[in-house]
Amino acid sequence: MRTKVAIIGGGPSGLLLGQLLLKRGIDNVILERRSREYVLGRIRAGVLEAGFVELMRTAGTGRRMEEEGFIHDGIEIAHGARMFRIDFRKLVQRSVVVYGQTEVTRDLYAARDAAGGEILHEARATSIGGAEGDTPFITFRQGGEQRRLTCEFIVGCDGFHGISRQAIPGKLRKSYEKSYPFGWMGVLSETPPVNRELIYSCSERGFALCSMRNENLSRYYVQCPLSDTPDDWPDDRFWEELKSRLPEPVAARLVTGPSIEKSIAPLRSFVSEPMRHGRLFLCGDAAHIVPPTGAKGLNTAASDVHYLYHALLAWYDRGDARTLEGYSARALARIWKAERFSWWMTNLLHRFPGQSGFDLRIQSTDLDYLAASEAAQTALAENYVGLPY
């Protein structure tokens, strides 16, 4: 098999890049190790930065997002019994869109099907070769058969556990990592959201987040020990704990119900440099992970897609290799800013084991300052809605 751009990974970043390239007549093939049903069944966050929204429009996949997505002009932050709002529209004249990652993926699949783009499902990439030359290739297994895909460029959108990052020689890679000593216990329920915008809560009992997918589908989280499992959190215990971490007026209007999905997510920060080796490029979780506190995971992948898409256009339209050569540096400059913001939000809102009285007073003072300072709120707002590409 041959193509121009081979993309490993059929999640949102791989599908989005593939669709953008197809719109410009650049042939590409996507290898996805899971079935389509599995990919569409994954439940993930859905807060989209302004830049992500614009990429969806450019890809021709924004119609349903614009019709069904929720425009959020701010977030609420609770600190004990008090709650204050960060007004994105007032502070930075931009907003975010809440639209589930599953729906983003569904829209991208539909567009690729309509365009005749090729996705090979249940195709597990096993090795990458020739990245330092002009004809790189991927070997993969599908249906018990070993196959080979030759191309001009390889893009690794295959996540933290994929093969793409490992294909960059170890002597050239440098990794930075921070693990957090807690996780998020998350529940999805067919109940109306407790608030029209997200609520981030810092309480004496730990962090909580009130989010949503649509008007009758809510997503809630509470900070929990890493040793916990979902079985440790029956529905009654979860709802009681969530209410205890919210201001009383919010807890009083919370509608509870049976959970339809329940999971615990660990929190960590991770960056691998560089994001390019020859004609192999990394994108999204293959190169970096952020804690979910700042809603940056899917959005950092989108910024990678933006930079790589324009670099590939420069190559195919003008034969300009400079933007491809500069991809890693440009992408990482923005990634590290997103890492800083997610780390800051995590430290601002969570309780850490072993925090001293001094640590707790500093955290409380930081929240008080944020509540009172327009400058501090503006800094949060411009990072949350997305720094410019």
Q: What is the CATH number of the domain that holds 171?
A: 3.50.50.60
Q: 167-218, pLDDT tens digit by residue?
A: 999 999 999 999 999 999 999 999 999 999 999 999 999 999 999 988 999 9
Name the catalytic one among 109, 292, 306, 307.
292
Q: Does residue 90 fall inside a structural domain? A: no
Across the range 215-234, mean pLDDT stands at 96
| 124 DSSP β-pair partners | 141
CA neighbours within 13 Å on the CB side: how many for 2?
2
Tell me: do 339 and 356 sit in the same domain. no
E strand residue ranges, the chain: 5-8, 28-32, 47-48, 70-72, 74-79, 82-87, 96-98, 118-121, 123-129, 137-142, 145-150, 153-156, 174-189, 199-203, 206-214, 217-224, 259-273, 276-277, 280-282, 288-289
Are 150 and 282 found together in one domain? yes
Task: Look up residue 347 and give its two tokens.
Answer: 């430290």
Q: How far is CA 347 from CA 141, 181, 187, 298, 333, in A?
A: 43, 12, 23, 21, 22
- Res. 224 pLDDT band, cuts 50 70 90: very high
Q: Compute how many other C-beta atoms are within 10 angstroms of the C-beta atom of residue 89.
A: 14
Distance CA 161, CA 183 (A): 19
In sequence order, the 6+-apart residues with CB closer than 8 A to the CB of 56 are 16, 48, 62, 65, 104, 107
Per the structure, the complete domain to which residue 273 belongs is given by: 5-72+97-177+268-345
Single-letter amino acid code for the residue at 69? G
Q: Write down the catalytic residue from 277, 296, 306, 350.
A: 296
Cβ neighbours of 369 (radius 10 Å): 12
pLDDT computed for residue 46 by the predictor: 86
Question: What type of residue is 84?
Answer: F
**Can 79 be counted among the known catalytic residues?**
no
Digit-coded pLDDT (tens) for 367-387: 999 999 999 999 999 999 999
Q: 116, 136, 138, 117: which is closest to 127 by C-alpha? A: 138
How many domains does the chain contain in total? 2
Does 153 lie in the same domain as 46? yes
Structure tokens at 265: 């997510």
Q: Do 50 and 193 share a structural domain? A: no
Does residue 248 sit in the same domain as residue 114? no
Using only the alpha carbons of the chain, give its radius of gyration.
Answer: 21
Look at residue 80 and tell me if it is in a domain: no
The angle at the Cα of 206, spanning 161 to 97, to the nearest 5 degrees, equals: 60
Catalytic residue among 72, 277, 288, 350: 72
Q: Which of 99, 200, 221, 309 is catalytic?
A: 200
Res 7: pLDDT: 98
Annotation marks residue 310 as catalytic: no
Quick check: is 72 catalytic?
Answer: yes
CATH code, domain with 240: 3.30.9.10
Is 163 within 8 Å of 125 (Cβ atoms)? yes
Whether 44 has a pLDDT exceeding 80, the answer reads no
Residues 308, 173, single domain; the answer is yes
In a domain, 84, yes or no: no
**Do 131 and 62 belong to one domain?**
yes
Positive or negative torsion for Cα 237, 242, 244, 249 = negative
Q: Based on the fold, state whether residues 291 and 333 are members of the same structural domain.
A: yes
Residues 287, 284: Cα–Cα separation, whole Å = 6
Instruction: Give the relative orientation of helices 327-349 and 374-385 as an angle to the nearest 10 degrees.
Output: 130
Query: Is-catalytic flag, 296?
Result: yes
54 and 122 share one domain: yes
Tell me: the pLDDT tens digits for 65-123?
999 999 999 999 999 899 999 999 999 999 999 998 999 999 999 999 999 999 999 99
Contact between 201 and 78 under an 8 Å Cβ cutoff? The reply is yes
For the question of residue 292 being annotated catalytic, the response is yes
